[in-house]
Structure 1
Amino acid sequence: METVTVVGLGKIGLPLASVFANSGHFNVIGADKNEKVVETVNKGISHISNEPGLDQLLYQAWKKGTFRATVDTAKAVSQSDVVVVIVPVLVDDKGKINYEFIDSAVEDIGKGIRKGTLVIFETTLPAGDTRNRFGKRIEELSGLTLGTDFYLGYSPERVYSNRIIQDLSNYPKIVSGDSGKSLQMVISFYKKALNCDIIPVSNLETAEFTKVAESVYRDVNIALVNELAIYADSLGVNMKEVIHAANSQPFSHLHSPGVGVGGHCIPVYPYFFINNGLSRGLVQLSREINDKMAKYAVNEIEKHFTTLNNKNILILGLSFRENVKETTNSSTLLLVEELKQKGAVVYVDDPLYSDEEIAAFQVEPFSMKDREKMDAIILQAFHDQYKNFDFKNFPNCQFVLDGRNVLDKKTIEGLGMKYRGIGVQ
């Protein structure tokens, strides 16, 4: 069997490697700089939680001996026929791209690569990076020639947390190569590794652009409906009702408004366009609109109380979205910042986090002993545990801000509380 090295055993890399290792076609080496991650993987134990099917897949591969992990990326690469790179590219709070981790991985790949190896990048990247930044660097480090001595592909990950295993088989795989031969090698690999539909595109840059465009589409459409929701508020129009009615027309697909957009993808990848030539227009404006929704929500609460100074506000959900333990770009962080500027005392509840983890964000972890203190509640991440949340337990709460437009307005108002959604009064 061929050997595949997956560089990066994070929330996408580990499931990907586990699926490859159970395909019946490959021996897999997982390379990661985190020694604790490598240690647990080499015991058949996943460090990724809330990912259905992953624990079993990893254990099966470990038991069969088709998956092992190492911190020595260069050595793993030197033993491999295929290298798949899924190491994050980060963006700072000013939108500047940080290549630190993936550049380090490429250095190791360049030092270990052997002739005939296929290197595929799955990390979301600005168009041109696979060829011009990473392909060239591997050439410089290895002394090998791209297209002759080694081959380069790009196939973006397109999965969603909490259903990664399912998405790997259900979503078509977009594939590309630096040449016709590379493309055929990439197609052949994924047919065996994932047994999913394949969509070949003409070059690396097209595949890179496609993945970013997917996230930009969602960000722009969320910004559109957020802008419309604010306008609807000013007219006393129920945006939730508008969306239901408008989307009965097959060419209308209004998204849902909300208190903000979080995560690794939607608020991040637009900057791959913004910082590479698309500096003005809808993409930039959408980022501004979506990041201002937390401020809008807090201002709506302040209108009810006149002042938020010394008011006790409870935010439900530290995670950036429902049922995922991940805080990257969470709207809660923006809400906390806005509330503190108004002098409010901020409490946060999240069933996926310990009190210590919540307190690390300089907020008060909520306890039921504090329930009578709460003046207002904001729903930010609608975890399953909140579907039966009992607002009766908060006798002094005056205001509920439904940041995801999912709560029952009549129930809340029946308790004498003011209900407010995003575009829903």
Structure 2
Amino acid sequence: MKTVTVVGLGKIGLPLAAVVANSGHFNVIGADKNEKVIETVNRGISHIQNEPGLDQLLYEAWKAGTFRATVDTTKAVKQSDVVIVIVPVLVNEQGTINYEFIDSAVEDIGKGIRKGTLVIFETTLPAGDTRNRFGKRIAELSGLTLGTDFHLGYSPERVYSNRIIQDLSNYPKVVSGDNEKSLELVISFYKKALNCDIMPVSNLETAEFTKVAESVYRDVNIALANELAVYADSLGVNIKEVIQAANSQPFSHLHFPGVGVGGHCIPVYPYFFINNGLSDGLVPLSREINDKMAKYAVDQVEEYFSTLENKNILILGLSFRENVKETTKSSTLLLANELKKRGSTVYVDDPLYTAEEIAAFQVKPFSIENREKIDSIILQAFHDQYRDFKFELFPNCQFVLDGRNALNQKKIESLGMKYRGIGVQ
């Protein structure tokens, strides 16, 4: 069997590696710089939580001997016929792109690549990076010629946390290559590795653009929903009713408003366009609108109390979204900063995190002993555990801001608390 190295064993890389290792066609080497990750993976144990099916797939591959892991990326690449890169590209607070981790991975690949190897990038990238930044660098380091001595492909990851393994088989795999031969190799690999529908596109840049466009589409449409929700508030109109009614028309697909947009994808990837020529128009405006929703939410709380000085505010959910343990670009961080600016004490509850993990974000971990202190509650991430949240245990809570329009308004109001949603009064 051919050998595949998956560089980056994070929340997407590890499930991908486990699926490929169970395909019956490949031996897989997982490469990662985190020694603790390597240690657990080499015992058949996943460090990624809440990913259905992953524990079993990883254990089966480990037991069958088709999956092992190493911190030595260069050595792994030397033994491989296919290399898949799923190392993150980050965006700094100023919106600039940080290539630190993926550049380091490419250096290791370039030092180890052998003639005939296929390298596929799955990391979301600005259009042109696969060919001009990474393919070129691998060629420089290895002395091999791109397109003849080694082959280059791009196939964006298109999965969603908590259902990654399911998505790998259900979503069409967009694939591309630096030339026709490379594309043939990429198609052949994914047909065997994932057994999913394949969607070839004409070149690397089209595939890169496609993934960013998917995230931009969602960001822009969420921004529209947020803008409409704020306007609905000013008119006393319930945006939930508006969306339900409007979307009964088959050409209307209004998204849902909320207290903000978080995660690795939607608030990050638009900057791949913004910083590469698309600095005006809907894309940057949408980023601005969505990032301002946390301030808008805090404004609603402050309007009710007149002042937030010395108020104790509880935020439900540290995670950026429901049922996922991930804080990247979480709206809770924006909410907490706004509340602190106005003199509030911020408590945060999240069943997925320990008190120590929550305290690391310079907020107070909530415990039930503090319940009588709480003046207001803000829902940010609607975890399953909050579906039956006991608001009645908070005798001094006066105001509930439902940042996801997900709570039972009648129940909250029956307790004598004021309820506000985003575009819902």
DSSP 3-state at the match of 1:84? strand
Alpha-carbon deviation of 1:408?
Answer: 1.1
- Alignment deviations for residues 227-269 of structure 1 (CA, whole Å, 9 cap, x no partner): 0000000000000000000000011000000000000000000
Partner Cα separation in structure 1 for residue 34 and residue 260 of structure 2 = 32
1:43 matched residue in structure 2: 43
2:123 matched residue in structure 1: 123
- Alignment deviations for residues 391-424 of structure 1 (CA, whole Å, 9 cap, x no partner): 1001110000000001111111111000000000
Alpha-carbon deviation of 1:90?
Answer: 0.4
DSSP 3-state at the match of 1:114? coil
Partner Cα separation in structure 2 for residue 76 and residue 354 of structure 1 = 36
Partner Cα separation in structure 1 for residue 241 and residue 381 of structure 2 = 22
Supply the AA of the counterpart residue of 2:374: M
Percent identical residues: 85
Supply the AA of the counterpart residue of 1:68: R
Partner Cα separation in structure 2 for residue 35 and residue 361 of structure 1 = 25
1:95 matched residue in structure 2: 95
DSSP 3-state at the match of 1:356? helix
Supply the AA of the counterpart residue of 2:114: R
- Alignment deviations for residues 50-88 of structure 1 (CA, whole Å, 9 cap, x no partner): 111101000000000000001110110010000000000
1:404 matched residue in structure 2: 404
Supply the AA of the counterpart residue of 1:259: V
Give TM-score scaled by structure 2 length: 1.00
Supply the AA of the counterpart residue of 1:420: R
Partner Cα separation in structure 2 for residue 384 and residue 347 of structure 1 = 20
Partner Cα separation in structure 1 for residue 338 and residue 355 of structure 2 = 22
Alpha-carbon deviation of 1:135?
Answer: 0.4
Supply the AA of the counterpart residue of 1:187: I
Partner Cα separation in structure 2 for residue 212 and residue 99 of structure 1 = 16
1:66 matched residue in structure 2: 66
Are positions 1:296 and 2:296 aligned together? Answer: yes
- Alignment deviations for residues 91-150 of structure 1 (CA, whole Å, 9 cap, x no partner): 011110000000000001000000000000000000000000000000000000011100
2:341 matched residue in structure 1: 341
Supply the AA of the counterpart residue of 2:141: L
Equivalent residues in 2 for 1:140-289, closer than 5 Å:
140-289=140-289
Please give the root-mean-square deviation of Cα atoms over the aligned residues, in Å.
0.4
Partner Cα separation in structure 2 for residue 20 and residue 269 of structure 1 = 26
Q: Which runs of 4+ in 1 moved over 3 A?
A: none
Aligned residue pairs: how many? 425
Alpha-carbon deviation of 1:4?
Answer: 0.2
- Structure 1 residue runs of 5 or longer lacking an equivalent are none
Partner Cα separation in structure 1 for residue 322 and residue 36 of structure 2 = 27
Supply the AA of the counterpart residue of 2:216: V
1:16 matched residue in structure 2: 16
Supply the AA of the counterpart residue of 1:114: R
1:319 matched residue in structure 2: 319
2:76 matched residue in structure 1: 76
- Alignment deviations for residues 253-292 of structure 1 (CA, whole Å, 9 cap, x no partner): 0000000000000000000000000001100000000000
DSSP 3-state at the match of 1:162? coil
DSSP 3-state at the match of 1:147? coil
Partner Cα separation in structure 2 for residue 394 and residue 41 of structure 1 = 43
